[in-house]
Amino acid sequence: RYYDMGENAFEDLFADLERAKKYVFIEFFIVAEGAIWDKMHDILKRKIEEGVEVKFLYDDFGALLRTSTDFAQKLRAEGFEVEVFNPIHKYTSKLFMNFRDHQKILVIDGEVAYTGGFNIADEYANLVDRFGIWKDEGVRLKGDVVWSMVVTFLELWAVCSKNEAIDYERYRAEKTSIQSDMYCHVLRDGPALDTRSFVGSMYKQMIHYAGEKMYVMTPYLILEEAMIETLLEAVRRGVDVRILMPGIPDKKIIFRMSHSYYQELLDAGVKIYEYQPGFLHAKSFVCDDEIGVVGTINLDYRSLYLHFEDGVWIYRNRVIYDIKKDFTDTLEYCNPVSLEFCRGRNIAVRAMQSILRLFAPML
């Protein structure tokens, strides 16, 4: 099931948590204390009292300013199993502090899983206004694909807990009788898996094989030369390439850097639009009504090379049309970016953007 807004995902997610019988795995980049966390916390505490095992993994950088200093200790006292990815205070003098856990995974009893762009914070459900309307996405999975989400979670959990003796099989759900025409495949990537970007290669292959259309939603657009050339080649052979970006940024420097790529893409025929009601945080691809990708992966160096990321590759089924409909519906709230806008930027802005692009691999 595809969700076109974060708040729609939370409604089903909380209902599924209430049905948990054996275990719950939770992994998020950002955790912020507030209404969303309070509701999730209350459900999980009750489940722990019922004997449900709860493993909670979150990124230290993502939660640093949004939770109390004793957040993990309090949860452990309540019966949560908690691990913190790459604690900042341990690595302040080391470059691998830059590696972050950007995955968003929630698994219940090995039977249901969620992933997408949303984190555990009130802005993702539009309960607070940070940058206008927060546009996000997500998916709910059932069936055999959930096992891949279980393994993806446990592998990073084992690294953080230094536990190499996890019995993965005890978390495998019994075979179900789900009948579906859907094929989907869990994607995962990260700096410990390969120095190359698996997801970047997959995106380039999707663009390379696109015949008619390639629709992309991404909050950041910081592209390596190979990705730029792949996009331009697609346009040259007649593919309709459209990219939706936020109109209101969450990070102004990254937003300015993303603008520095606009003119080259527009000159070649790529169409770029900016979401006017607020911040577009969704990360999705649609290729020729046949292939879709939904997950945590941004089109920037950080997602492709420095973060642990996950997503779902979906092939030839009705959910592709849900993702495409979300794209076309969102397009109604976007303004097209023109070449005149790019050419009309003053020389100081262009100079700043050129300088910023030198640091693109680090941002």
Active site residues: 102, 104, 109, 281, 283, 288
Distance, in Å, from the CA atom of 202 to the CA atom of 179, rounded to the nearest integer, reads 28
Tally Cβ neighbours within 10 Å of residue 127. 15
C-alpha–C-alpha distance, residues 131 and 299, integer Å? 20
**C-alpha distance from residue 276 to each of 68, 115, 221, 326 (Å):** 34, 25, 17, 15
CA 217 – CA 251 distance, rounded (Å): 17
Give the C-alpha separation, 306 to 192, whole Å. Answer: 9
Tokens linked to 103: 């995955």
Helix ranges (H only) for the chain are 6-18, 35-49, 60-63, 71-77, 145-161, 198-209, 225-236, 252-259, 262-268, 301, 318-331, 339-343, 347-358
> CA 71 to CA 55: how far, in whole Å?
15
